[in-house]
Structure 1
Amino acid sequence: MDSLITAAARALAAGDPLGALKRVGLRDDAPALALRGITMAQLGDFARAKMLLKNAARAFGPKEAVARARCVVAEAEIALVSRDLGWPVKALDAARATLEAHGDRVNAAHARNLEIRRLLLIGRLDEAERLLTEADVGPLPPAARASRELAAAGIAIRRLQTRAARAALARAGEAARQSGIGALIAEVESAAVVLEAPAARLIAHGQARPLLLDEVETLLASGSLVVDACRNVVRGGGIVVPLATRPVLFALVRELAEAWPGDVSRSTLLLRAFGAKYADESHRARLRVEIGRLRAELRMLVEVNATSEGFALAPRRSADAVVLAPPVEEENAAVLAFLADGEAWSSSALALALGASPRTVQRALEQLAAAGKVHSFGRGRAVRWMTPPVPGFPTALLLPGPLPSD
């Protein structure tokens, strides 16, 4: 490796892409192509970066397996940053194995972090945690340590383990400062904002107030009957009853929980659950049926008692009933929760992350675009969607993946 390649690689490692480009910008040999690709990725030109890295991988000879593996890892990082979640995971796994076999621990650790971050985005927390636990925790340079701790913090945040998340972010911040890379320091600071921003609203006794993520963790561990409008489940005493596929039942129990310890009139329940402004006998009969179904679903947690005006909740295992709601509620909140990170997402990546059909996600994006809440750029398969971060909008509670009590 000649001196210019070495100097360009050091500049990239220090977060100086322009310095690297000055040294290899006019060269077309395989190492220069690879470094130019990484440089263009750091400068935000992902399309050219991918082309350069593919050319570099082809230019490396059959005996340069490590160099080709590094190109694969760089391509995977570009795909992750550009939210192309459909990139070939097996290719990255094979590249990581090659790097480990040849003793390149730093790039192998980076490849594992990329796998973990992808799993986090699509809500597969158990797999992400397993990969993080299995990783070699030997000495790593500061940038690699910071990336590992960011992955650990991401898992802890998604599991509502705020103490562990704060500790991981503190370690990540220290490692990032040691690396001297400004972009990495900014990434750690951005991740820490989640812990200090309102993550939900607590609705109890007719009053609502914002909750931080650690307050949400305390609430879910308190033993209260929690009607969780972020995940559409009812929690209490270690029991979780999912109602995501039963929207009418969830609407009924939420209305009753918001009024607890009072009752809710039949007319109000008919309006909120069925949209019936004028109730007739068929509506009242349907309400009785749905209340019966609600009693059956929640029999281990709560009683639903009839009153002279309507119905009221009577928790079996807790002293109170509360509602946990997102700070901002709207029809396409889950899509906005992903776009709130400020990154550019494709509709296919959003569909993969949400576990929804591409057409469902596309309709949601069209509705949000019509309301001026998101915008797109690019054409055809290169279309990407993004929005500025929404003040007070949650991410962790609306993203897929189980919470500790699920």
Structure 2
Amino acid sequence: MDALISAAANALAAGDPLAALKRVSLRDDAPALALRGIAMAQLGDLARARELLGNAARSFGAEEPVARARCHVAEAEIALVSRDLGRPMQGLRAARATLETFGDLTNAAHAGYLDARRLLLIGRLDEAERILGDVNVDALPATSRAGYALVVAGIAMRRICAKPARDALERARAAAVSVGNAALTVEVERAVQAFQAPAARLIARGGERLLQLNEIEALIASDALVIDACRNVTRARTAVVSLASRPVLFALARLLGETWPEDASREELLLRAFRAREADESHRTRLRVEIGRLREAIRPIAEIHATERGFILERHEAGTVAVLAPPVEEEHGEVLALLADGEAWSSSALALALDVSPRTVQRALDILANNGKAEWFGHGRARRWIATCVPGFPTSLLLPAVGVVG
């Protein structure tokens, strides 16, 4: 490594991309291209950074697998920041394996952390946890240790485990302070604010109030029958009945929970489940059928009985019934919940995170844009979406995880 390359690398490590560019901006050899790419990434020009790193990886070629793998890891990190979570990150695990094979444990650990962070963003908590378990934390760069702790906190928050999340955030804050990186400190403080903000609403006995994560955890652990509108499940302690794929049944269950311990009228149930303002006999017949299906689905934790004016929910044992709902409910709230992290998302990444089709996400984004709640920049595959400054965003903490009910 020549003196200019070494000086540029030291400048980047110190967070001074302009000093690095002064040394290598006119060079087109592979190491200079890689350093220029990292410098442009630090300056925020992610498109140019990705181009330079791609050129560097090709210039290194098969004869320098470690340098090429490092470029792939840097490209993956840019894709993660750009919320381009699909194809651009597919080579990350291969790059990590190469780095481990050749003894570059620091960059290999960093690659593992990036992989776990991607999996957290798309809701694959079990896989993210497995990847974190394989990461050598002691080998991580100082800045990545704060990020590692943020991933641990994110998994705990999505699993509704308040104390592990709080402990991990404290570790992330301490790591950020030790590094002295302002951008990293801001990222940690943003995560702390998300943890401290109301994560859901409790609706019970005709009233409602906002809950923080630790209060949600306590509610789920209590003897209450919880109808969880954040994940579309009903639960009583460890017994969980998922209605995520049966929206009509969940709408009926939610109204029965909101009116408990009173009954819900047939008119209210028809309006909530079928949007039927003027019900005829066919609607009433369908209501009886759907109530029968709901009764069968939740039989392990509750019963439904007919009353003179409608239906009532009854528990098998003593205890309350509560409805847990997002802080703000509106159309396409789950898309807004992801956009609320302040980053610019691609529509394909949103579809991946929500486990829906790209066309479904695009329709939602178009509606949000027309309503002034989201906006885009860029064109074609470079288009990114952000949330406008609308108060009261729904939370992403309780977004359903892939393969995880609660």
Shared fold by TM > 0.5?
A: yes
How far did residue 212 of structure 1 move?
Answer: 0.7
Range moving further from structure 2, 339-348 or 71-80: 339-348
* 1:394 aligned residue: 395
State the TM-score, normalized to the length of structure 1.
Answer: 0.95
* 1:112 aligned residue: 112
d(CA) in 2 for partners of 1:277 and 1:80? 46
State the TM-score, normalized to the length of structure 2.
Answer: 0.95
The answer to whether the Cα contact below 8 Å between 1:373 and 1:387 also exists between their aligned partners in 2 is yes
d(CA) in 1 for partners of 2:140 and 2:85? 27
1:73-112 matched pairs, under 5 angstroms: 73-112=73-112
1:234-245 matched pairs, under 5 angstroms: 234-245=234-245
Change in 2 beyond 3 A, CA 1:108/1:117: same
d(CA) in 2 for partners of 1:8 and 1:187? 26
Query: What SS does structure 1 have at the residue aligned with 2:356?
Result: coil
d(CA) in 2 for partners of 1:54 and 1:139? 26
* 1:181 aligned residue: 181
1:312-331 matched pairs, under 5 angstroms: 312-331=312-331
Query: What SS does structure 2 have at the residue aligned with 1:226?
Result: strand
The answer to whether the Cα contact below 8 Å between 1:347 and 1:384 also exists between their aligned partners in 2 is yes
Give the fraction of aligned pairs with identical amino acids, expressed as a percent: 64
How far did residue 250 of structure 1 move?
Answer: 0.9
* 2:58 aligned residue: 58
Deviations 1:27-62 (A, max 9, x none): 222111101101111111111111101111122254
Deviations 1:266-292 (A, max 9, x none): 111111111121222222222211111
* 2:225 aligned residue: 225
Deviations 1:49-108 (A, max 9, x none): 111011111222543221111100000001111111112555211211121222222211
Deviations 1:293-312 (A, max 9, x none): 11111111111112222111
* 1:199 aligned residue: 199
The answer to whether the Cα contact below 8 Å between 1:14 and 1:181 also exists between their aligned partners in 2 is no
* 1:258 aligned residue: 258
The answer to whether the Cα contact below 8 Å between 2:7 and 2:23 also exists between their aligned partners in 1 is yes
Range moving further from structure 2, 145-154 or 121-130: 145-154
How far did residue 329 of structure 1 move?
Answer: 0.6
Please tell me the residue identity of whatever aligns with 2:281: E
Deviations 1:130-166 (A, max 9, x none): 1111222335442132122122112111111111111
* 1:121 aligned residue: 121
Query: What SS does structure 2 have at the residue aligned with 1:331?
Result: coil
How far did residue 11 of structure 1 move?
Answer: 1.9
How far did residue 390 of structure 1 move?
Answer: 4.9
Change in 2 beyond 3 A, CA 1:124/1:13: same
The answer to whether the Cα contact below 8 Å between 1:236 and 1:318 also exists between their aligned partners in 2 is no
* 1:378 aligned residue: 378
How many residues were matched structurally? Answer: 405
Q: What is the root-mean-square deviation of aligned Cα atoms in Å? A: 1.6
The answer to whether the Cα contact below 8 Å between 2:4 and 2:24 also exists between their aligned partners in 1 is yes
Query: What SS does structure 1 have at the residue aligned with 2:363?
Result: helix
Q: Could you tell me which runs of 5 or more consecutive residues in structure 1 were left unpaired when the two chains were aligned.
A: none
d(CA) in 2 for partners of 1:76 and 1:140? 17
Query: What SS does structure 1 have at the residue aligned with 2:151?
Result: helix
Find runs of 4+ consecutive structure 1 residues off by over 6 angstroms.
Answer: none
